[in-house]
Amino acid sequence: MESGGKHTMHKGTGTVYRIVVRSELSDRYAAAFEGMEMETKNGATILTGEVIDQPHLYGILDRINGLGLQLLSVQSLPDEAHPGPERTREQEEPIL
């Protein structure tokens, strides 16, 4: 199951992260995670996008917490990696 709305990621000097939360979020949550691509799959939502620095990352994590969502994983993706849903867990570098 894929969310109807894909949101464009910005390419700059930050690091691309893939953040997974439990439950399939509707498109109305897209505004809370502006700049992140949202994809729903197997009872989870995958947020993928560029994070500029640590305060930006903590802001996203605070938003997740404030919405009462359960955080499943946070991963930084290699520069050459395509942050699409075809990536497997073995290819990702977990940081949390």
Q: Which residues contact 67 (CB under 8 A, 6 or more apart)?
A: 29, 32
Domains of the chain: 15-94 (3.30.70.980)
Q: How far apart are CA 94 and CA 63, in angstroms?
A: 20
pLDDT of residue 88: 43
Q: How far apart are CA 42 and CA 51, in angstroms?
A: 25
Instruction: Give per-residue pLDDT as tens, 1-56.
Output: 343 433 334 456 789 999 999 999 999 999 999 999 999 999 999 999 999 999 99
pLDDT of residue 77: 93
pLDDT of residue 81: 59
Taking residues 58-66, what's their average pLDDT? 96
Q: How far apart are CA 61 and CA 19, in angstroms?
A: 9
Instruction: Give per-residue pLDDT as tens, 68-94.
Output: 999 999 999 987 654 444 444 444 455
